[in-house]
Structure 1
Amino acid sequence: MPTISRRNFTLLLPAALAACGASENRGPVFKSYGGPPVTQVVVQKSNRRMYLLSGRSVLKSYDFGLGTQPIGHKQFEGDGKTPEGLYFIDRFNPRSRYHLSAGISYPNAYDRAFAAQHGLSAGGDIMFHGRGPEGRQLVKQRKDWTAGCITVTDDEIEDIYAMLSLGLPVMINA
């Protein structure tokens, strides 16, 4: 078996990495946003509309899908519901299996205590996210397909991801 010298490996490495980036599967796009700061996200579950606000001005709005059981507040892990109430953006995942995702701080102390009173877990990992390959197939079957997350198209999550910041309040209404 032929061996590759350290010098040849160093020369081949950039070409190999470039070839990896040439796949047809588009990865996350990291857009930038230079407009007014988003000061709050308001989610209206009943009419499936999300608003990114700066003060009282709507900067952008989006249609979305919810959990498999869209009516009511998330109470337990696996209930398929999307939480309702005041939460905050608490993390970003550029390697999400659903293209990109921004975490919502569910469960809060009240959510955990309520679930514990019933001997159950409140669950977690609630996000704004795109669809990714798996979600693109699931959304063809039903609009509300997540375990409780709020989902938009991959193009839309790229814009949203650029506009959100850690600690941003998220008000999710019924």
Structure 2
Amino acid sequence: MKRSLLLIVALSYFFACSCIAKINDLRSLPQPKIDLIHIEKQKRRMTLFFDNNKSKSYRIALGFSPQGPKLMEGDGKTPEGVYSITYKNPQSQFYRSLKLSYPTPQDWQRAKRLGQNPGSNIMIHGLGEFYRAGKWHVLKDWTLGCIAVTNEEMDEIYRLVDVGTKVKISP
């Protein structure tokens, strides 16, 4: 009886170790890269897509005056339109960041008609020194026009997104 029980325990331990090893193997597999980031300003939501399939969504904070498209530097608005990721910064002031291709030629023209500078350096970024706010950072739009997520979420997004990824920002 003791020998049977010992055999069962040993086999159970071996099986559990094998399962853990398989899970770790799956975690180390390369993740599919995201091919579209869709930001819905009104819903305060950013969704990542791979091959036209929704991969993951995040709650976001926007510029401190988010209604309408960004018109000029300092207006606190988050741009609207189609952009792309142009640069990945692993040591941003706001933890990590993904730079958007804002301003486009159309953004420049709109600002020029108003006699203004369109601004620049619009990013998807983490919280930086505000990391303690965690998921509560979405209770108030606080950026200068960027899109903010928690540092933990930014780790995941940073890993899944490459330079050149399309970014669509809807009102």
Quick one: distance in 1 between partners of 2:51 and 2:143? 30
CA apart distance, 1:140? 5.9
CA apart distance, 1:36? 2.1
TM-score (norm 1): 0.76
Aligned position for 2:12: none
Deviations 1:139-173 (A, max 9, x none): 66952000000000000001101111111100000
Aligned position for 1:12: none
Q: How many percent of aligned residue pairs carry the same amino acid?
A: 41
Aligned position for 2:67: 71
Quick one: distance in 1 between partners of 2:29 and 2:72? 36
Q: From the superposition, tell whether residues 85 and 33 of structure 1 become closer, same or farther in structure 2 (CA, over 3 Å).
A: farther
* Structure 1 vs Structure 2 CA RMSD: 2.0
Q: 1:113 aligned to 104, 109, 114, which one?
A: 109
Q: From the superposition, tell whether residues 72 and 97 of structure 1 become closer, same or farther in structure 2 (CA, over 3 Å).
A: same
3-state SS of 2:111 partner: helix
Q: 1:161 aligned to 142, 158, 161, which one?
A: 158
Give yes or no for contact 2:48–2:54 (8 Å, CA) kept in 1: yes
Aligned position for 2:92: 96
Q: Which has the larger radius of gyration?
A: 2
Aligned position for 1:14: none
Quick one: distance in 2 between partners of 1:36 and 1:105? 23
Q: From the superposition, tell whether residues 95 and 121 of structure 1 become closer, same or farther in structure 2 (CA, over 3 Å).
A: same
Deviations 1:24-66 (A, max 9, x none): xxxxxxxx88222211111111111111101221111100000
3-state SS of 1:94 partner: strand
Unaligned stretches of 5+ residues in structure 2: 1-27
Unaligned stretches of 5+ residues in structure 1: 1-31
3-state SS of 1:133 partner: helix
Q: 1:84 aligned to 76, 80, 83, which one?
A: 80
Give yes or no for contact 1:33–1:162 (8 Å, CA) kept in 2: no
TM-score (norm 2): 0.78
Which one has a larger percent helix, Structure 1 or Structure 2?
2
